[in-house]
């Protein structure tokens, strides 16, 4: 192909040059969120299966998928009790999947966490326990004994898919007396608000009522690319963990302190004190000024996160180039024209952040103070 001088290419592809501004992707699919003041924003998938329970692939593929997705950590969480491949792949050692995944990760940046899925019918349902030391010791007749052993090993345990229609026909997450007693004993510390392709407002209510960590996971069994249409621009759900250090101990401390946000499609779900620093680190006004001799203010907002944001204007000013909804694509700068009536020295723009959920049907407010 004939080589064009760079300025000609810029004329041909003005949008391309603009879109890549501030774009730091090592590869197109890596999931990247900015750090927040005082904490690293670590992306984690804490619910993953391989052929060592009912998944379709060997554990090394799980590690490779996580690396392609640029995750900071993944947990290996095979079912302890459900072993449909055991005649083809006998494995008396329930730690084996974790060992193979750890070996594949080697000295790479990916943190691999040792977990297991305690798999029971209701009232217990399914739960993942992570940061454990020996999965074999969790294979126990009594569910209560399994939760106790998980706690004894230092496990962080969370309820899985409490909205699962195989166990809840109406898709409504609930807690039973038994779950509440486990929460009170510190043997349940989190809950999946997002699992695979489902989201649960009721699980979010339970998380807020009982002070549980808000978790979002893939619960992947087949391939991440197929299940979440990665070639079409999709992504797996993740839990963003706000950790003081980028280590297993740092992640565990953050989970125990409930400093998490779940990310699902373009929705961020978390407590206001955790999600708002992430929103404020992600969205920044990078440019502002009046256009020509008008009183129309051009404002450029950059989004350095992986998520698209949807804002609804609640300011006293209206826009010149759109109605009240402002979409901010990921890793992109977006221009908006604001009619301020007359030229002013400072402007407050306020928005409802519609893609952020802090409680069912509740969206936080974001303001920008702009000095043109």
Length of the chain: 372
Record the tokens describing residue 292, joined without a space.
């020509």
Report if residue 160 touches Zn ion, rule: CB under 5 A: yes
Smallest separation, CB 78 to Zn ion (Å): 8
Residue 315 CA to residue 5 CA, distance in Å, equals 44
> Which of 260, 274, 268, 262 has its CA nearest to residue 328?
268
Please state the separation of Cα 302 from the chain's center in Å. Answer: 20
Intra-chain end-to-end CA distance of the chain, in Å: 45
Smallest separation, CB 184 to Zn ion (Å): 23
Parallel, antiparallel, or unpaired for β 238-243 and 260-264?
antiparallel
Decide whether 47 or 332 has the Cβ nearer to Zn ion: 47
Decide whether 65 or 117 has the Cβ nearer to Zn ion: 117
Size of the site for Zn ion (CB under 5 A): 4
Decide whether 91 or 363 has the Cβ nearer to Zn ion: 91
Report if residue 217 touches Zn ion, rule: CB under 5 A: no
The site map against Zn ion for 85-124 (x = CB under 5 A) is --------------------------------x-------
Phi, psi of 307 (to 5 degrees): -100, 140
Smallest separation, CB 126 to Zn ion (Å): 3
Other Cβ atoms within 10 Å of 24 Cβ, number: 10
Footprint of Zn ion on residues 304-363 (CB under 5 A)?
none
Determine the interface stretch with Zn ion among 61-69, 157-165, 280-288, 318-326 (rule: CB under 5 A): 157-165
Give the one residue of 94, 96, 120, 126 binding Zn ion; rule: CB under 5 A: 126
Decide whether 45 or 219 has the Cβ nearer to Zn ion: 219
Report which residue's Cβ sits closest to Zn ion.
126
Q: Which residues of 275-293 are buried (b: 16+ CB within 10 A; e: fewer)?
A: bbbbbebbbeeeebeeeee
Q: Beta partners for 353? A: 311
Smallest separation, CB 196 to Zn ion (Å): 9
Smallest separation, CB 146 to Zn ion (Å): 14
Footprint of Zn ion on residues 232-271 (CB under 5 A)?
none
Handedness of CA 354, 356, 358, 361 (dihedral sign): positive
Smallest separation, CB 49 to Zn ion (Å): 6
**170: exposed, middle or buried (C-beta count within 10 Å: 0-12, 13-18, 19+)?**
exposed
Give the one residue of 219, 239, 270, 356 binding Zn ion; rule: CB under 5 A: 219
Report if residue 62 touches Zn ion, rule: CB under 5 A: no
Ramachandran region, residue 244 (left: φ > 0; alpha: ψ -120 to 50; beta: rest): alpha
Decide whether 160 or 304 has the Cβ nearer to Zn ion: 160
Decide whether 126 or 236 has the Cβ nearer to Zn ion: 126
Decide whether 45 or 117 has the Cβ nearer to Zn ion: 117
Binding site for Zn ion (CB under 5 A): 117, 126, 160, 219
């Amino acid at each position: 192909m004939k080589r064009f001088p760079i300025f000609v290419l810029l004329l041909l592809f003005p949008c391309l040059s603009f879109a890549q501004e501030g774009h730091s992707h090592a590869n197109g699919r890596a999931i990247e969120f900015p750090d927040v003041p005082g904490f690293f924003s670590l992306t984690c998938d804490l619910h993953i299966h391989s052929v060592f329970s009912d998944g379709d692939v060997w554990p090394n593929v799980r590690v490779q998928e996580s690396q392609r997705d640029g995750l900071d950590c993944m947990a290996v969480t095979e079912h302890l009790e459900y072993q449909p491949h055991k005649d083809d792949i006998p494995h008396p050692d329930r730690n084996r999947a974790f060992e193979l995944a750890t070996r594949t990760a080697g000295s790479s940046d990916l943190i691999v966490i040792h977990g297991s899925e305690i798999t029971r019918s209701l009232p217990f349902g399914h739960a993942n326990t992570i940061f454990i030391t020996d999965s074999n010791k969790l294979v126990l007749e009594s569910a209560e004994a399994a939760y106790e052993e998980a706690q004894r090993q230092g496990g962080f345990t969370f309820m899985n898919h409490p909205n699962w229609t195989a166990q809840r026909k109406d898709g409504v997450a609930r807690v039973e007396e038994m779950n509440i007693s486990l929460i009170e004993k510190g043997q349940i510390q989190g809950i999946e608000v997002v699992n695979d392709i489902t989201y649960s407002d009721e699980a979010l209510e339970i998380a807020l009522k009982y002070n549980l960590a808000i978790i979002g996971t893939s619960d992947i069994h087949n391939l991440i690319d197929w299940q979440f249409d990665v070639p079409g621009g999709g992504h797996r759900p993740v839990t963003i963990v706000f950790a003081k250090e980028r280590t297993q101990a740092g992640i565990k401390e953050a989970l125990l302190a409930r400093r998490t946000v779940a990310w699902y499609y373009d929705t961020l779900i978390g407590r206001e004190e955790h999600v708002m620093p992430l929103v404020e680190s992600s969205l920044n006004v990078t440019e502002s000024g009046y256009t020509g001799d008008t009183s129309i203010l051009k404002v450029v907002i950059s989004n350095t996160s992986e998520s698209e944001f949807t804002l609804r204007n609640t300011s006293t000013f209206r826009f010149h180039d759109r109605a009240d909804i402002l979409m901010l694509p990921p890793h992109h700068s977006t221009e908006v024209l604001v009619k301020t009536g007359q030229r002013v020295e400072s402007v407050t723009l306020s928005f409802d952040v519609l893609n952020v959920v802090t409680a069912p049907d509740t969206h936080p407010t974001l303001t920008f103070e702009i000095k043109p």
